Amino acid sequence: MYIDTHCHLSKEDYDDIDLVIKENKEKNVNRIIISGCTKETIVESIALADKYQEVYLTIGYHPSEAKIITSKDLELLEDQIRNNSKVKGIGEIGLDYHYGKEDIELQKDFFRKQMKLAEKLNLPVVIHSRDATKDTISILKEFPQVIGDIHCFSGSIETAKIYVSIGYKIGIGGVVTFKNSNLYKVIEAIGIENIVLETDAPYLAPVPVRGKKNSSKYIPYIADKLSEILNIPVEKIAEITTNNAVTLFDLK
């Protein structure tokens, strides 16, 4: 059995969500953790987790929301988390400097507030970090009790090792199957015991469906690639990454 530890599920992207869940099961992807990371998608994700037993949640505000989210919204987020047993983590939260650095201090403050919430509620975090490795690591280190995973990791071996050393798993998705990806080096260096699988659907579909709309049902393509890289049977990849996800997100 597989767990997709990070994806997005919304009526905007999928006409028939019953079908998505059914197709996931046919591919042995029996649990998925969807992320709501804007006001609207948090509400929609909560409703989907209510409806489908297989769907779990992480909720938290993406760094791109830093400018519009108020302290009242963050209080509401805390309530939404406290009142829902299917919320298994906070995220995706983090830093994104890709589109410029003019709001860097605002982003950092916003990230710290949500890390504080994770610490207070004793929940793992799902980290979005883009062009912001140094600041991400230094803020994570301010919260040594908090663990989580680095969603859609794309950095160096050294960076991956730092994250692992401070208690984080590395989220590996479709990018690992791309022709020019160097992620195999990271995977060889950190080992399967530090990896969780994710699709980030509807984005970043793996080869051989690259360019199409992604879905959790494609997780086996990612597992096959890891099996090839590490020379470990795919059943073992499934077992270990599922255990990693169950432990990190307390899915028992």
Chain position carrying tokens 């998925």: 32
Q: How far apart are CA 216 and CA 201, in angstroms?
A: 7
Considering the complex, what minimum distance in angstroms separates the CB of residue 128 from Ni ion? 7
The verdict on 149 binding Ni ion (CB under 5 A) reads no
Question: Which of 131, 165, 135, 128 is closest to 150 using CA atoms?
Answer: 128
Min separation Cβ 17 and Ni ion, Å: 17
The residue among 44 and 200 lying less far from Ni ion, judged by its C-beta, is 200
Query: Which residue stretch of 19-27, 97-105, 198-206, 237-245 sits at the interface with Ni ion (rule: CB under 5 A)?
Result: 198-206
Q: How far apart are CA 100 and CA 105, in angstroms?
A: 12
Binding window for Ni ion (CB under 5 A); candidates: 9-17, 64-72, 194-202, 208-216: 194-202
- Select the residue interacting with Ni ion from 5, 52, 200, 229 (CB under 5 A): 200
Which of these segments, 160-168, 171-179, 192-200, 205-213, binds Ni ion (CB under 5 A)? 192-200
Where would I find the H helices in the chain?
17-26, 39-51, 71-82, 104-121, 133-141, 157-165, 183-190, 219-230, 234-249
- Can you give the binding site for Ni ion, defined by CB under 5 A? 200
